Amino acid sequence: MARFIRWFSELGIGDVPLVGGKNASLGELFREFAAEGIAVPAGFAVTAEAYRCFIHEAGLAGKIADELGRIEPRNVEDLRTRGARIRNAILAARLPAALEAEIAHAYEELTASLGAFASVAVRSSATAEDLPEASFAGQQESFLNVHGVPAVLDACKRCFASLFKDRAISYRVDQGFDHLKVALSVGVQRMVRSDLASSGVIFTIDTETGFRDVVLINAAYGLGENVVQGAVNPDEYCVFKPTLKAGFKPIVQRRVGTKEFKMVYDVGGTKMVKNIPVSAGDRAKFVLSDDEILQLARWACRIEDHYSAKRGRPMPMDLEWAKDGVTGELFILQARPETVQSRKDTDVVETYRLRSRGPVVVTGRSIGEKIATGPVRVIPNAQAIAQFRAGEILVTDKTDPDWEPIMKQAAAIVTNRGGRTCHAAIVSRELGVPAIVGTEKGTDLLRDGQDVTVSCAEGDTGFVYDGALGFDVQRTNLRALGRPRTKVMMNVGNPEEAFALSFIPNDGVGLAREEFIITSTIKIHPLALLDFEQLADAGAKRQIEELTAGYADKAQYFVDKLAQGAATIAAAFHPKDVILRLSDFKTNEYANLIGGRAYEPAEENPMIGFRGASRYYHDRYRAGFALECRAVKKVRDEMGLTNLKVMIPFCRTVDEGRKVQAEMARHGLVRGVNGLEVYVMCEIPSNVILAAEFAEIFDGFSIGSNDLTQLILGVDRDSEIVAPIFDERNAAVKTMIAQVIAVCRARGRKIGICGQAPSDYPEFARFLVEQGIDSISLNPDTVLKTTAAILETEAARR
């Protein structure tokens, strides 16, 4: 048996001391999952004993100890100088002859069956790496597309030297690891020809919020280093685990990335790999098909379940994958425990909120949920990091592990490139520093010394505001908060915030608004998509073409985007009820959508005009409503999210309610089938007066206190002149609300409220509880304080 070599088939997760975390995990994957069809490229590990033998025989231990014993890790120049001396000494030394022979023999055995153009990846695997308590990912070097014995031997030695890269030394100091007790193994693994296809990373947890029921996949063309390093903005796909495991196809989010470059083999060149531009057409396309997304997600779930069983506790995973452009096969390249969100204390909710907003300088993908202020420092490259001062906002093109000594000193980080799984994102999460990645123009639009506010507290989109803005931080221990009898639900419009909001104690979503999804994501009038070829407005047609790139069927764009938004909210709160209110734009609001003016009448008073239920069965909008129904059906039937219910707004008459339900049935949405519940907004006096009749055709009511107050008091709530008269606490309003609650209780129908009043007025929430309302749906920022008021009221009534 070879002294210094272990094949992946001989290794398991318990072999970290022998071959490091990365190689032990590769062995576990290769050994456990090959029979299940989860493909892992073959390879072998050069053991940690080989590293120790090399260091001993080359007489390097004393020099390493001497340099590191005097190092000043916070002094960037001292760190750089001493690290370089150690690395140069290692590179100048010769590997032991026995070690060289064993590596050469194993390499030749591995590549014998791979053909003339066989190549391998040579990767570092530290013995303290990929532990659940710390992430050493990216601290050491990897080398791709390595050919021939001399090149493999050289790459192995460079991996050994990389144990003393500046970033690795600094990281070990911060984590409290003894430099001389950490050894390095090297993995030599068959290269997958992803240079001809695609690759990326997978997390079995939402990387920003710690929401555990999703698989997050990033994908870009070519070799995966660009995704890991943040050199490109990748595609992003999000899959919901519970219904995936039940056999559904719950791709709840698909975002196309810009994917500016791809890393390929440098065939005939002077380097092993190189970056080349991606064509505009390919950049606009999704890298992976739905079937490939789902296959990777299933593999990720299986691997997570296996590691969780091994550890005896939930173990979210961080994986790397690749697609072979020759065979079309998918492969898992690495697996390690996720080390940031999995350690998050979910019993404490920390909420950051801006007191006001300023001019937006630049936007990107938000990392974390914090807010920070400070002066900007634009750093062009890693050679200039000594210019950085603690407390500044680091702004650069992208980061890699060489930047880590200053990243830990930054108030916030802003990069031009990268996605949610790039280096800057991973490190900023671990450090607890807010970051915005993929801004594209951050280094151009921000200037040295400029005071800015970096806000990651507004969903997936991160904002850099000009000026130092005030903000508040609220910390709440959830264990101290009881649950009331009255259901406390939430009003959620922005799907980007849904995963984070799900951690606030709740009983589901009482109002999910379609309007936010349509205005912020879709942006186009549905009829303009259906009539795209006949559109007379050339400007609108051009905008639609840009937004719907990749969609031959423009109407499908509306269905997919609406379904993804609704599904994200339904997934975040699954299996609790999520009540989706169907579109409730007024005609003037519909007209403001791209292409909308051609379809909307000019009304004197849109507030009580062609809105809500009256649109759904009318010839002027029936075809648009069909797209809404298709989106709901996709969420419930294809994705398996049957906790999504629907609600009809502004339904004036019982007959109108029947017409709408008949229209829904034409598109496969039948009340009672597959658990579909249909609610009605109670926001018109007729809904209260004829509550018993409405209760015969609907499963429940949700009081819209804004419109109901307006119509009871005859007050235009948009008029500043009569606005002071508008008050939900008026006796007439409260009388009608008490009346409809009583009717619903007598008829066995659910009755809740999703209007603004209980969010604004705790005494109004107490009134509702006293009337016996089933649920109160609140704005997220008022849930905790209103829950406390409800608990007090319920206790007083006992």
Catalytic annotation, residues: 423, 754
Count of Cβ atoms closer than 10 Å to residue 607 Cβ: 15
Beta bridge mates, 126 = 184
Q: Provide φ and ψ at 232, rounded to 5°.
A: -135, 160
User: What letter would DSSP give residue 475?
Assistant: E
Which pair of tokens denotes residue 495?
Answer: 């799907």
Check if the beta carbon of residue 252 is closer than 8 Å to that of residue 567.
yes
Which pair of tokens denotes residue 89?
Answer: 């000494």
Q: Provide φ and ψ at 133, rounded to 5°.
A: -90, -15
Q: How far apart are CA 467 and CA 531, in angstroms?
A: 45
The 3-class secondary structure across 704-756, one letter per residue, is: CHHHHHHHHHCCCCCCCCCHHHCCCCCHHHHHHHHHHHHHHHHHCCEEEECCC
CA angle 664, 668, 674 (to 5 degrees): 110
The 3-class secondary structure across 286-352, one letter per residue, is: CCCCHHHHHHHHHHHHHHHHHHHHHHCCCCCEEEEEEECCCCCCEEEEEEEECCCHHHCCCCEEEEE
Q: How far is residue 589 from each of residues 137, 278, 351, 595, 714, measured CA to CA in Å?
A: 49, 38, 32, 12, 22
**Tokens 């130092």 -> residue:** 468
Three-class secondary structure of residue 625 per DSSP: helix
Check if the beta carbon of residue 406 is closer than 8 Å to that of residue 394.
yes
Work out the angle between the directed axes of helices 76-92 and 149-162 (0-180°, nearest 10). Answer: 150
Three-class secondary structure of residue 652 per DSSP: coil
CA angle 50, 55, 58 (to 5 degrees): 115
Which pair of tokens denotes residue 624?
Answer: 């648009």
